[in-house]
Amino acid sequence: MSNFWEYTLVETAARYSVVVLCLVLFMAIFEIVTSYNNWEEIKKGNIAVAMATGGKLFGIANIFRFSIEHNDSLTQTMGWGLYGFALLLCGYFIFEFLTPSFKIDEEIANDNRAVGFISLIISIGLSYVIGANII
């Protein structure tokens, strides 16, 4: 019985560590992709950026939740997490493309909370769609 608990604790710590590192890496990629500085805007109190960033964080974490739930190995979990992030990033570009009348990044940087909220919902919604397809 003690081996079970030791293995489970180590496995949980390993998956947690990998997900945290991936979150940092993926958020750094989103930072490069967006035209504004996420953390500087959040520091200034930009609610739209906070909502959009929170949606991205939740979306990535949710994808990893599905990945952990459906995969036994850490390698498979990371692979599906990476693939899910790539799809979430594609969703970000599609959202920008489908709104040609205004620039999503500019609206979020200008604290347009409606656009920030829609961005949050899109990230969360896509994470569930992506996660539902993880095997």
- C-beta of residue 128 within 8 angstroms of C-beta of residue 122: no
Write the pLDDT tens digit of every residue in 66-119.
999 998 788 999 999 999 999 999 999 999 899 889 899 999 999 999 999 999
pTM to 2 decimal places:
0.88
Write the pLDDT tens digit of every residue in 16-27.
999 999 999 999
Domain ranges in the chain are 2-132
- C-beta of residue 85 within 8 angstroms of C-beta of residue 78: no
